[in-house]
Structure 1
Amino acid sequence: MRPLDALHASSKRIATLAVVGEGPTPRTPATQTDLNRMRASYSSWTTSALDPAFMNIGGLFDPDSAPVTIFIDTRTMEIVAVKAGIDLTTAQVDEIVSGITSGPPLY
C-alpha cells in the first residue's frame, strides 16, 4: 500500500505533511507540477510541501529510499520511527501511532 493511502486509512489521529522531493523519474527534482499532481489526489486531508531533490529534509534519510514516512511525537518533536519504501500498511501505521500515544513523552 502506498504510504499516504496507509496513513489516510488509519483510524488514529494523525497530522500529515507530504513532502514532494522527486518528480516522476527517480533522482529528478520535483517541480510545482509534481506537487500539484500530488495535491490533486491528497489535498483534502494532508498538508503538502515542495522540496526539490530533498534539499532541505534529505539529511533525515537516504533520498534513494523515497518514499519515506517519518513518525514524530509532536509532544517532543522527536523522530520515533522511519519507514522507507512504498510498502507501508495501515496496521503498521496504527501500531506506531499507538506506541507514541499510549505512553508519556520520551524526553
Structure 2
Amino acid sequence: MTSVFFNANLFPENPDDPSADAVRNTRASLKRVLQSHQADVMVVQRHDIRRPESEGGGFEVRYWSPVNSPVLNPDGSLAYIIHRVENVTEFILLKQQASRNQS
C-alpha cells in the first residue's frame, strides 16, 4: 500500500501572486512519479517564501529547480518519493537582469 503525504499548507503560495502555481505543479509531478515509477524533473518553479515578521513579513521571491525521484521496493512497487529542490534564485535573477540590460 502506498500512502501519500503532501500538505500544501506547509509551504503556502504567495497570496499576492495570482499566478502562483508551484504547489499545483509539485502535486502533479508527484502524481506522475506515482503512476510511472520514473523520476520527474520539473521546470524551474517560482515559489516565494514567507519572511518572518521580525524581518518585515511578506514574501521573498525564490526560484527552485525540483526533481521527484522514486525509490522502489525489490518487487518494483513504489516505496518512497524523494523530493529534491535546489535554490536557483540567484541564477534566475542574474539571467533576468542580463535580459533587461540587453533590451
TM over 0.5: no
Query: Which is strand-richer, 1 or 2?
Result: 2
> Structure 2 length normalisation: TM-score?
0.29
Q: Which has the higher contact order (CA 8 A, sep 6+)?
A: 1
> Structure 1 length normalisation: TM-score?
0.28
Larger CA Rg, structure 1 vs 2: 2
